[in-house]
Structure 1
């Protein structure tokens, strides 16, 4: 019996156990010592088998805790890839989107649920901002900040991105009022009314709202919930229509947490260069990574075609309306548009967040948040797998939400109002498409802890959905 056969046999046995739910999502596998004793194997053989499972994304190693199941096995003949190529069209955003936003329910099934105490990271953030406000002297309150933003905050952003492989300069960054404002400036800078913009499908509904307001046309690019935009489909689209810009979220795209592989990023840059395309990178979810934070697409941009947009609203606070944009060849235009649309950003807010980043508080907050998000994600996936109906779900390694695909006859739009009658706000799949696709899909967020009320709300959904 060869050493290779022994680790392969252990690997196959563990995979079979995960498939048969001997160990469910989020549960700990037997320890290395236990596997050595019970299976009669060497430590090296067991470690090799576990490392192979980790490389496949089936398990993850947690320091001083062991190996945990992270990927539920599903039918690999049915990849979670959606979308179809249709001609460009004007955008009309559903009133349902506005209703969800009015209810503050973009990331919570129960937006009216009473809130608990502030997390430590937010307490520290508030203190840093308060200190910055108290430090104001003289007549600072009588002057606007420069359109680009205060240097100390931009310098901290430079340091933040240096850890992710992008050697930015602070003069390449412009501070905005959140990521949505950054995307708005990016589109205004590189597009004219009537231009065609490519977006992922399913994709970010906020981008559709911006396209509608700016009078731009949209062409949807079929995308994988696991690996993001289909670059082959994008190439076909670029050959058929003159596309001016493409909005992508390479790191943990909503609605399902897709993560673009390096090869797809390189291909996207190549297509942008060949077709004179502006790439608008929505980098807002990168800091929610449960493992290593991926490099931004901007780090690969040699021709200044990538406009990076981001903020801390998904990784720190929704209420912190502080974002940034790096505009590449359009940066000067973006600075002018910032002056026109916002004039200036709060100086003390920038200085407070800069202090929060400089003293290590942001890093501590992100480490705590990742542990919490991992627990929330695992609970959500396990709960969905227990539903008494056919459902296939994404298993993101970052972001704040899971994409659930139900049987084709299910109409999630029709379930919106009945769910609302019970106080539950769902986010139907068609919101993530300009052409009304994905009626049998839902985006479900794991941004909040699964207390009894939220768990009960989640458990009530199959009854409502199966009646449609």
Structure 2
């Protein structure tokens, strides 16, 4: 079977569904018609349709063909209304336990996969060469506060390729995306200020907000399109919100992708109410079918602080991130000096070489295909074995959001499964208000080995 042909057909069908070529409940062209129109084999058509069925974009009716499912209401965490008053928070002990097990994105944290990809080997070689190039006593000097200028040039070029204007002088190297978010919050807020977050949203941001003694207000978010703009506006009219943290591109835990219209509305609200927008763009380069823009690309008033890193797209071990600080850039540079002082020169230089010679982009292209394949394997498993569950079908990133029957308590499941060496990420840690008890995040960041499939089967038994 020609891999490119079934992927081309799948993409064509998906775009037709998304763009409304076929309405809710409509029947797709027959397999025979698709074979004739696209000059492909029956096996190619069936494979493309089976993949779309696993993603719940089409449904098969015996002896009738394939149909577009009837529309369902887009799920949000709560109604678009004024939510609870801003509050100080305490991060769950479960989150600390998850991180101590190194299990944030793996059901089986104790299981080690096989050999490293060749592109990661190439990265290690680039880092080693950079260390060898150090001359004299350079290793005894600190890097400049903003970070290596050559690496910042490569990052600016990466942003340009995503239609986001950026100059090296506007960027600052950080110790990962979490550090970038920390700097953004410190630059824009003081203890006691109110910060809006998506719900469900990134638990790492909740950790930072607790540490900085900032009050949090949760804004309901669609599982597919991200933050509810109407709910945000309602809360902006009531509370003195100073900043908002959003992940427009393939947010964790749901994998949602914010539509362009919502991005424009969000930035208009930021200007109207004079708030800072802190963008977590860590998954921004990880779209499976098309490139995504950072929210900062639409920013006309220097209000968006864009944060990212290589920890999800390349390696968590690098601890290299960056921040585009907008109007707060100079303040962020000073705060970096306080919180980190300097970044590793050799690591930055090695990473710069790895990007400049094309190795990073080659790796990323291959990695996205691997993640897409692993996502589809997970979707196929869920479609065939978890009829009791609903789940998102993200078009990028590394995880999806599962909704179990209401009687399920994923916090209890976490405790029970931990005894078996299996770690799930329960829904309540993505909220400050004990929501999402029947939800969990599943990652497709690892190969679906026999051991991990067994872990999914054990999880299914506990749910039952």
Please classify the TM superposition score into its range, dividing by the shorter chain length.
Answer: 0.7 to 0.9
Q: Secondary structure at the match of 2:402?
A: strand
Q: Secondary structure at the match of 2:285?
A: helix
Out of 121, 126, 129, which is 2:124 matched to?
126
TM-superposed deviation, 1:464 = 1.1
| CA distance 1:13–1:223, shift in 2 (3 Å) | closer
1:270 aligns with 2:268: yes
Q: How many Å separate the matches in 2 of 1:408 and 1:268?
A: 32
TM-superposed deviation, 1:138 = 1.4
Q: Secondary structure at the match of 1:121?
A: helix
Matched with 1:35 is 35
Q: How many Å separate the matches in 1 of 2:442 and 2:276?
A: 31
TM-superposed deviation, 1:156 = 0.2
Written as runs of structure 1 = structure 2, the 5 A alignment for 1:16-415 is: 35-36=35-36, 43=37, 69-70=51-52, 71-73=55-57, 76-83=71-78, 85-415=83-413
Contact 1:373 1:400 in 2 (8 A): yes
Contact 1:411 1:440 in 2 (8 A): yes
Matched with 2:6 is none
Q: Secondary structure at the match of 1:149?
A: coil
| CA distance 1:67–1:127, shift in 2 (3 Å) | farther
TM-superposed deviation, 1:317 = 0.5
Q: How many Å separate the matches in 1 of 2:407 and 2:140?
A: 60
TM-superposed deviation, 1:69 = 3.2
Q: How many residues align?
A: 426
| CA distance 1:251–1:388, shift in 2 (3 Å) | closer
Offset from partner CA, 1:180-212 (integer Å, 9 cap, x none): 000000000000001110000000000000000
| CA distance 1:12–1:434, shift in 2 (3 Å) | closer
TM-superposed deviation, 1:221 = 0.6
| CA distance 1:15–1:423, shift in 2 (3 Å) | farther
Q: Which runs of 5+ in 2 are unaligned?
A: 1-15, 58-68
Q: How many Å separate the matches in 2 of 1:220 and 1:241?
A: 12
| CA distance 1:446–1:303, shift in 2 (3 Å) | same
Q: How many Å separate the matches in 1 of 2:305 and 2:24?
A: 47
Matched with 1:51 is none
TM-superposed deviation, 1:409 = 1.1
Offset from partner CA, 1:246-299 (integer Å, 9 cap, x none): 000010000011100100000010000000010000000012110222111101
Q: Secondary structure at the match of 1:158?
A: helix
Contact 2:25 2:70 in 1 (8 A): no
Q: Secondary structure at the match of 1:324?
A: strand
Q: How many Å separate the matches in 1 of 2:336 and 2:23?
A: 56
Contact 1:389 1:462 in 2 (8 A): no
After alignment, is 113-122 or 269-278 more displaced? 113-122
Contact 1:83 1:437 in 2 (8 A): no
Matched with 2:444 is 446
Q: How many Å separate the matches in 2 of 1:419 and 1:86?
A: 33
Written as runs of structure 1 = structure 2, the 5 A alignment for 1:422-461 is: 422-461=420-459
TM-superposed deviation, 1:66 = 6.8
| CA distance 1:178–1:277, shift in 2 (3 Å) | same
Q: How many Å separate the matches in 2 of 1:322 and 1:77?
A: 41
Matched with 1:420 is 418
Contact 1:195 1:216 in 2 (8 A): yes
Q: Secondary structure at the match of 1:138?
A: coil
Q: How many Å separate the matches in 1 of 2:89 and 2:142?
A: 36
Contact 1:305 1:328 in 2 (8 A): yes
Q: How many Å separate the matches in 1 of 2:26 and 2:355?
A: 42
TM-score normalised over the length of structure 1: 0.87
TM-superposed deviation, 1:346 = 0.3
TM-score normalised over the length of structure 2: 0.87
